[in-house]
Amino acid sequence: MKLAKKLFRLTTLTLVLVGLSSGVYSAVAQKPTGPAKRSAPSSRAHNEVISSIVRDIDARNIERTIRTLVSFGTRNTLSEQNDPKRGVGAARDWLYGEFLKIAEASGGRMTVEKQTFEQPKANRVPQPTMLTNIVATLKGTQPESADRIYVVSGHYDSMCNSPTDAKCDAPGANDDASGTAAVLEMARVMAKHQFDATIVFMTVPGEEQGLLGATYFAEQAKQKTVNIDAMFTNDIIGNTLGGNGVRDRGNVRVFSEGVPSNETTAEGNTRRSVGGENDSASRQLARFIKEVGDAYVPQFKVTLIYRRDRYGRGGDHIPFLERGFPAVRFTEVNEEYKHQHQNVRIENGVQYGDLPEFVDFAYVANVARVNAASLAMMALAPTRPRNVAILTARLSNDTDLKWDANKEPDLAGYEIVWRDTTSPVWTNSKAVGNVTSFTMKGMSKDNYFFGVRAVDKDGNRSVVSYPRPVGRTPADRPAPSSSQP
């Protein structure tokens, strides 16, 4: 407890210059003039539960899962539903059985559900087809937090050249047995631990048919107003030798959108008025993953990509984003297109097809470690502060922040974080105690971005909340042509 308190006071700056290879960051170009102290860089991991989760993740289990999924021949969403040996149904039933075994070690806290629905005829669905999401829920143990949900997902369907060819072999070892295996391994390791909030380990079909399984889950969650605080999709996380010839075993990309997919015109106007295009909830989530990942899996780096997905492409996080849930995508650094969506064949001596020999199981394990550490930290920490606002009623060189009080009994207090406007990540933090407002004296909101995060008594930190302006809405302001603000 003493140590935790000390660490809390340390105003830890978890992220810092490590990994900021973009060259954009200018170290201490603008020294804060107020009393706010520039905190010392520190990326020390100190939560023993999270460290033990990271240690327990085992590449051999991931390899076994990937090879088993490949052994079903194809997992195309349109393939056999009732053949125990081949097709998407065999994969579905095997995964369900594996999650059930894992749930036995959870002391009744994990439940496993088949979420089955009929997908009507669609672009890549020539006839109505039953799809089944496998959903394992590890219930949070803190009453104030149990309805706060973190979803981690991978898609268990696969395809060869044609998404509607249900007969061809489609091993899908990397796309996306890798993500599915990572989710299963996280469930195995994390089911033994207790978390304040709830974690959902999910594997879905229909990704290659148009994100169908994920869309169904996200839509159900929206209709039932489920509090999904964050969603991760793991898709194509196992190839370490890219088609560009580059071998990279030490980085994973995390994609996050800057402007929310579901933003209204009014919200967009407000965002533009405060320069918040780089500060969506999903981007705060991505920055959080980098902080936690770099601290707990130090030999393996998170590379933040500031776009929703790869160029012009998509994945299972998008239906969540479209419904207002913060979400990111994990993907390897250099993709190899000869081993994605290809019929298995040799052409001019070159092997095509998504085969297990092209998956780096140890690498998948590291991606799973970054996922698991981030999920564990979020589910142990208090919720990110709600209704965070910058008060704009007075024109001032100070910055007035306020937020709602958290309800968790183990809350210790809050930290204000900030960065220069050109910095990609939060660079500074200041512990301000258990208060619901704070003024950053002498630090103008014109010159920095600010955020607020909650901290519990063990030093677990929430994702940062980015404030909205309160007091003078854009509508209150004179027309933009006016010279006075």
Give the sign of the dihedral formed by CA 283, CA 285, CA 287, CA 293. Answer: negative
Residue 216 beta carbon to Zn ion: minimum distance, rounded to whole angstroms: 17
Q: What is the DSSP letter of 175?
A: I
Which residues lie closer than 8 Å to 481 by C-beta, 6 or more apart?
Answer: none
Residue 331 beta carbon to Zn ion: minimum distance, rounded to whole angstroms: 9
Stretch that binds Zn ion, among 15-23, 230-238, 305-313, 384-392 (CB under 5 A): 230-238
Please count the residues of this chain forming the interface with Zn ion, following the rule CB under 5 A.
3
Residue 249 beta carbon to Zn ion: minimum distance, rounded to whole angstroms: 20
**Which CB sits closer to Zn ion, 98 or 235?**
235
Residue 204 beta carbon to Zn ion: minimum distance, rounded to whole angstroms: 11
Stretch that binds Zn ion, among 129-137, 212-220, 234-242, 429-437 (CB under 5 A): 234-242
Q: Is 235 in the site for Zn ion (CB under 5 A)?
A: yes
Task: List binders of Zn ion among 273-292 (CB under 5 A).
Answer: none
Q: Is 309 in the site for Zn ion (CB under 5 A)?
A: no
**DSSP states of 6-31:** HHHHTT-B-S-STT-TTS---TTSS-
Residue 172 beta carbon to Zn ion: minimum distance, rounded to whole angstroms: 8
Residue 157 beta carbon to Zn ion: minimum distance, rounded to whole angstroms: 8
**Which CB sits closer to Zn ion, 8 or 330?**
330
Q: What is the 3-state secondary structure (H, E, C) of 296-346?
A: HCCCCEEEEECCCCCCCCCCCCHHHHHCCCCEEEEECCCCCHHHCCCCCEE
- Say if residues 201 and 138 touch (Cβ distance below 8 Å): yes
Which residues lie closer than 8 Å to 23 by C-beta, 6 or more apart?
Answer: none
- Distance from C-alpha of 447 to C-alpha of 32, rounded to nearest angstrom: 10
Task: List binders of Zn ion among 128-187 (CB under 5 A).
Answer: 175-176
- Distance from C-alpha of 218 to C-alpha of 318, rounded to nearest angstrom: 10
**Which CB sits closer to Zn ion, 195 or 216?**
216
Longest Cα pair distance anywhere in the chain, in angstroms? 72
Tokens of 266: 């009014």
**Which CB sits closer to Zn ion, 177 or 455?**
177
Point out which residues bind Zn ion (CB under 5 A): 175-176, 235
